[in-house]
Amino acid sequence: MNKAKRAAVIAGNWKMNKTPKAAAALIEEMKPLVADADCKVVLCVPAIDIPAAVAAAKGSNIEIGAENVHFKASGAYTGEIAADMLVEAGVKYVVIGHSERRQYFAETDQTVNLRTLAALNAGLTAIVCVGETLEQRELGYTETLLKYQTKMALTNVTAEQLKNVIIAYEPVWAIGTGVTATADQADEGNGFVRAAIAEVYGQEVAETVTVQYGGSMNAANAEELLSKVNVDGGLIGGASLKAQDFSVIVKAAAQ
């Protein structure tokens, strides 16, 4: 297993936080702190913040992502945003299938797959989230569930398109709870994701796919989590809203 075969990506997921003005201010604060990053740096922001975020990040090493994308190209889908709209706005990445979307907005493995295909077809990099609930973990279903979610999300995704896919393992019980998975649990979960990819695309391809860990990753625990062979980066919620904390995590991703 060779970690150097894949890109380290630290991505913030701001969720429903920051107005456009506040987003621009936070990015201005972050820019000098992450300028010498040895990994890719991405901030996934609320849709309304995208123009301000893209403008603020211009000329820096920060790339902007969205937090969701619709699976149709256009049409009567009130409130939704299509992939080419994101592309035209300067977005490069998009979070898909976050557990909050699955839990509160009826996202299913099938719609996660459709959104992933729409993102990839538009040239976006998809950050696809998978993760088990505490109940599923306690019942012993973690491996089965992670493999199932990963394979479902990647249905009809070609090996070529897979180059633009990042999978984020986010145990639901660790999101926003302050309860972080241990580094070994994160490594194991990410390993299950990679094994699922290997079952479909082969081991060689699986070793090139970036698999992030997300769930209460912070300035204090990032280095240990990111030291694990299967942890290629992080998807960070709360700590990505603080410039200093986020920059510590970015530095911890130096390979």
Active site residues: 98, 170
- The least CB distance from residue 12 to ligand 13P, in Å, is 8
Side chain identity, residue 58? K
Return the closest-CA partner of residue 86 out of 99, 70, 100: 70
- Side-chain-side CA neighbours of 1 within 13 Å: the count stands at 15
Q: 52 or 129, CB closer to ligand 13P?
A: 129
**E strand spans, 149-228:** 165-169, 211-214
Residue 184, token pair as written in the block: 């070994």
- Side-chain-side CA neighbours of 197 within 13 Å: the count stands at 28
- The least CB distance from residue 56 to ligand 13P, in Å, is 21
Q: 46 or 238, CB closer to ligand 13P?
A: 238
Cα Rg for the chain, rounded, in angstroms? 17
Spatial contact of 13 and 233, defined as CB atoms under 8 Å apart:
no
Q: Cα dihedral sign for 238, 240, 246, 251?
A: positive
- The least CB distance from residue 44 to ligand 13P, in Å, is 8
Q: 32 or 176, CB closer to ligand 13P?
A: 176
Residue number of the CB closest to ligand 13P reads 237
Q: 81 or 166, CB closer to ligand 13P?
A: 166
> At which residue do the structure tokens 């280095």 appear?
223
- The least CB distance from residue 129 to ligand 13P, in Å, is 7
Residues that bind ligand 13P (CB under 6 A): 13, 98, 170, 175-176, 214-217, 235-239
Q: 41 or 217, CB closer to ligand 13P?
A: 217
Residue 107, token pair as written in the block: 């996202």
Maximum Cα interatomic distance, the chain, rounded to a whole number of Å: 48
How far is CA 176 from its chain centroid? Answer: 15
Spatial contact of 146 and 169, defined as CB atoms under 8 Å apart:
yes
